[in-house]
Amino acid sequence: MLDIDLTVLVTFVVVWILVFILTRVFWRPMMKTMSERKDRISADEDSARTGRSAVAEAVARIEASLKAARLAAERVREELEVEALKERSRLVAEASALSKRETDRAKAELRDELGRLRSELDAKAGDLAILIERRLLGR
């Protein structure tokens, strides 16, 4: 049978003293540190979730503003194209009108010159006819 003597009692007391000391010196600080670490990790995970959602919201806002800016730019580009086409039409019309005026002026000048040359030729035609007649007839 088991004999209980003083060494068992001393061993029992030493073990409990070690448990008490280890609990105070090692286990409690270690458990406190582990608990603090777990709390920090939880807080970091929460802030990461919050940060991810904030980033997702910011990206969505940026994408929406980019879409609006693209639409506005497209509208402005279309308006500028319309204005450019109107300006082009106006310039073509001006150039056409200027060209027509210049052509009409040149035609008028040519008509005037032609009339002057005809009257000059008519005036010289009689003299030329007499000169030709003399040369042909030898008089």
Mean pLDDT of the residues in the chain: 91
pLDDT by residue (tens digit) across 46-80?
999 999 999 999 999 999 999 999 999 999 999 99
The 10 Å CB-count burial string (b at 16+, else e) for 56-73 is eeeeeeeeeeeeeeeeee
d(CA 85, CA 79): 10
DSSP per-residue codes, the chain:
-PPP-HHHHHHHHHHHHHHHHHIIIIIHHHHHHHHHHHHHHHHHHHHHHHHHHHHHHHHHHHHHHHHHHHHHHHHHHHHHHHHHHHHHHHHHHHHHHHHHHHHHHHHHHHHHHHHHHHHHHHHHHHHHHHHHHHHHHT-
d(CA 90, CA 30): 87
pTM reported for the whole predicted model: 0.47
pLDDT by residue (tens digit) across 12-26?
999 999 999 988 888
Q: Is the pLDDT of residue 126 over 70?
A: yes
